[in-house]
Amino acid sequence: MSKSQEKEQLTTEQHDNSDLRGTLFFNMLLGVFLVLSWLGVWAIYMSR
């Protein structure tokens, strides 16, 4: 194997072993924040 193929294989293995446990939770939290922000702005708009 050439050196570039070895590097690519090592990079792929490192990428496959990455820890993504908090990613879903953070994205769900961000989504809830955005929805609540939009609802708050809409409520202020409707009250005027």
Q: In the prediction, which pLDDT does 19 show?
A: 73
Q: In the prediction, which pLDDT does 42 show?
A: 98
Q: In the prediction, which pLDDT does 33 show?
A: 98
Q: Note if the pTM is more than 0.85.
A: no
Q: In the prediction, which pLDDT does 21 show?
A: 75
Q: In the prediction, which pLDDT does 40 show?
A: 97
Q: What is the DSSP code (8-state) at residue 17?
A: T
Q: Which amino acid is at 29?
A: L
How far apart CA 35 and CA 48 sit, in angstroms, is 20
Task: Give the tens place of pLDDT for each residue, 1-48.
Answer: 566 666 666 666 666 667 777 888 999 999 999 999 999 999 999 998
